[in-house]
Amino acid sequence: MRILTVLTYYRPHTSGLTIYAERIAKAFVARGHQVTVLTSQFEKDLPLREMMDGIEVIRSPVLFRLNKGVIMPWIGLQATIEALKHDVILLHLPQFDAAGISLRGRLFKKPTIIAYHSDLILPPGAFNRFVNFVVDTANRLTATFAHRISAYTEDIAEHSPYLSSYPKKVRVITPPVELPEAALAVIGAFRFRHNPERKRVIGMATRFASEKGVEVLLDALPKVLEKHPNIKVLYAGQHEGVWGEQEYFARLIPRIRELEAAGKWKFLGVLPLTDMPAFFANLDVICVPSLNSTETFGFVQVEAMMNGVPSVASNLPGVRQPVKMTGMGEVIPIGSSDALARALIRILDQP
């Protein structure tokens, strides 16, 4: 079977969505299918075509960037050519261009499936409200033409205004989570590099973005430090130069620099996937204080739990499910730094 996968960002970009798309594409290839990924050339030095792990990656040139999105003038033509050559179309939403591609799926009689990852909620402002409206309209047109829509959990399928509008098309498919086991020597080497003091560790693994709730953790830390002064935050993920988040970073970074100077916070940057098992194994708790429905699951929770690490997660549809399903951690009210502090203290109180 020839499968055309379309999404805005693919490798080497790192996010939960791109990791999910990559895992699915590799799994199809391993089963003998032919997979093509049509995506954006979000950095000009990326090749327009290349083979990655047996997957053909086609990148459409970007005319300009629109907040966290991109405008690709040639993607319609490229999608037409590729749709005609493939048997199935898989669209990862949200993405602005998906409506036209799903229409091509209907016109060309190609089964078209949506993998719905999250809503798009941009920072406040008239222009961003317009962009949100356009993308939401495009997503709904995409659903009209698509044959099936996949959702991570029943929880998000029931509570998402988007997914709940198409109950006959939605199928719940638990997302794939893969994490190799780290050798003890590798775990120890990671600790020696990043936590030689052997402090108790609170982890975050995500882009530095306003919807991720970094300030909720910052507001909770003073109370946690009162009870557990020997703690440290290890933050894995892109923290500088995140598209559309410069003001947010500038507002929070002075507080973080103070914590860094006191040895209470360390940015690790974007870790290779091969280093993530050692990262999780060095945590006492992982923190997922997300603020809105741009987060609908939180793969890092499951990956941490696979290493015996509990999670403190926001009470958002989907995000709360790993804790509820496993009992490993606590669910807190959205945006409550007091509740986050209490939950972290309770977990850190345990030996």
Domain endpoint, select from 172, 201, 227: 172
pLDDT of 123? 66
Report angle CA 329, 332, 338 to the nearest 5 degrees: 115
CATH code at position 302: 3.40.50.2000
Mark whether 345 and 198 lie in a shared domain: yes
**d(C-alpha 41, C-alpha 120), whole Å:** 21
pLDDT at residue 221, as a whole number? 98
User: 142, 172, 202 — which closes off a domain?
Assistant: 172
Residues 50 and 94 in one domain: yes
pTM of the model: 0.87
Between the CA of residue 296 and those of 156, 220, 268, 318, what are the distances in Å? 7, 23, 24, 5
Supply φ then ψ for residue 337, to 5 degrees: -70, -30
- Is residue 139 domain-shared with residue 194, that is, in the same domain? no
- Identify residue 64 by its one-letter amino acid code: F
* Within a domain: 230: yes
Residues 301 and 186: their CA atoms lie apart, in Å, by: 21
Q: Which domain holds residue 153?
A: 2-172
Give residue 185's pLDDT: 94
Domain count, the chain: 2
Tell me how far apart the alpha carbons of residues 6 and 15 are, in angstroms, rounded to a whole number.
15
Q: Is residue 179 part of a domain?
A: no
Mean pLDDT by 10 residues, the chain (351 residues): 97 89 95 98 96 97 84 95 97 92 96 90 72 83 96 93 94 88 92 96 95 96 97 95 87 97 96 92 97 87 95 96 96 97 96 78
**Same-domain check for residues 155 and 93:** yes
Rounded Cα distance between 162 and 139, Å, is 8
CA-based nearest residue to 271, from 302, 234, 298, 244: 234
